[in-house]
Amino acid sequence: MKSKHTDEQLAWLRNHLSEYETRAGGNVRGDAKKFALEMAAKYIEKWGVVEGEKETTMKEQIYTWFKNTSARGKEARKRHQLLKKAERPSTAYLTVPNIEQSIHSNASTSQLRYQPPQSQPPPQHSITPTHYQPVLPPPQPQSSTNFNSNLSVQAINVRDAILNGACGEDDVATSFQLCEDLSHMMTGLLHAAIAVTSSSGGPGVDPLHHILHRYYAAGDLLPRTMAFRSYTGPMAARHLLHTTFRKQSVWTPATPFSHHSHDMQEQINRVNLDRHRRQHYILWARLHAAALEIQLLDNPSLAEALANDGMWEEDEVEWVAGCVLLKGLVRAGKVPMSSSTLGWADLMHSYQNKWKEVRDEGRQTLMADTLLEIRKTLEGHSRM
């Protein structure tokens, strides 16, 4: 809100803080947030909406007050600071763009062009069809590859076939057919996306567009003998990806640290694992948005629901993912389908407020770049 709470308003909010904390410690997920939003509605009914402010924004900020003022919120911020060094690579601090300013640049610095690697001998542990010669992807930062050793042979083949420019669509399709479990296809696709978003290069077309075009083109070559649920052949590949987008859109918080645990290495391992979960969650949202942008998804209803709800969730990765999906909807030229959905410009402003609360520098930078792209696209639409 544009002005601080009065003493009377603060006293009223604090009178309800204990009930919020009780619900936050309960077993019903989302109960505390529901209560905070109910109190926000009563607050507005009692004192009204601040002049020039939106009711939805006021509700969101009152909910944030409850979350940040509660003992649980204070403890979470303290623990976050203690573990921040373990979660963040020891590199120079990132500079966050000023999203308050008008857009003058023509490309986001977060979009990198992927340069296919030169052919190399295949790894000895890969299964290699006679007409398919996979290669290793370019070297990646250690923080993105800690768990590559857990990849199955089938997932490695899918990843390498997608990345290797020398492999044709039939080669990629062959790597799909070698997967005994279709989840290996999705794991390979995800790690191909990790590779192209981790490699260095100049600004240009989003490399995730290229990854998805490769996936869809190869999926169109699949035989009817390859099935996913009730779908076969090309439709199996499409519905597998759509189902994965839906499943990966659900964020599950990590189990809180035990205050009685004295194993520092275990805690560091859990921090690293949680960091990878967060990276993968946002990357699936970026793939979902990219599929919208290049018109590979016919129904945007899931993305619209996630973009509209993301800013109300509790974890900042859900804010970033929702903002990313909003960019996909805007750049795809979609219009809100639900009457309960805010206009894209209003939704952008709500995410801009959320951006100010993001604590992780990398996620804050990604969200800033994304908001710049949304603003640029909306300004382009308004001039048409």
From 139, 101, 64, select the one nearest 353 (Cα to Cα): 64
Q: How far apart are CA 361 and CA 381, in angstroms?
A: 30
From 308, 310, 371, select the one nearest 341 (Cα to Cα): 308
- Give 257-298 pLDDT, tens digit per residue: 665 556 677 778 888 889 999 999 999 999 999 999 999 988
- Give 292-329 pLDDT, tens digit per residue: 999 998 889 999 999 999 989 999 999 999 999 999 99
The sign of the CA dihedral 94, 98, 104, 108 is positive
Assess contact for 207 and 113: CB atoms under 8 A: yes
Amino acid at 232: T
- Give 169-224 pLDDT, tens digit per residue: 999 999 999 998 999 999 999 999 999 998 644 455 789 999 999 999 999 999 99
Assess contact for 166 and 119: CB atoms under 8 A: yes
Reported in sequence order, the residue ranges of the chain that DSSP labels E, i.e. its strands, are: 227-228, 231-232
Determine the pLDDT at residue 86.
Answer: 42
Q: Of 8 and 342, which is predicted with more confidence? A: 8
| Cβ atoms within 10 Å, residue 214 | 21
Percent of the residues in the chain that have a pLDDT greater than 70, as a whole number: 72
Two tokens, residue 219: 């999926």
From 135, 124, 205, 138, select the one nearest 167 (Cα to Cα): 135
Listing DSSP states for 235-285 in one string gives HHHHHHHHHHHHHHT---PPPPPPTT---HHHHHHHHHHHHHHHHHHHHHH
Q: How far apart are CA 173 and CA 378, in angstroms?
A: 38
Amino acid at 88: R
Determine the pLDDT at residue 85.
Answer: 44
For the chain, what is the radius of gyration of the CA atoms?
A: 23
Q: How far apart are CA 83 and CA 89, in angstroms?
A: 12
Amino acid at 326: L
Any residues with CB less than 8 A from the CB of 140 and at least 6 apart, and which? 194, 195, 198, 199
Any residues with CB less than 8 A from the CB of 105 and at least 6 apart, and which? 372
Assess contact for 304 and 338: CB atoms under 8 A: yes
Two tokens, residue 121: 């001998």
Two tokens, residue 159: 């990843």
Q: Of 277 and 84, which is predicted with more confidence? A: 277
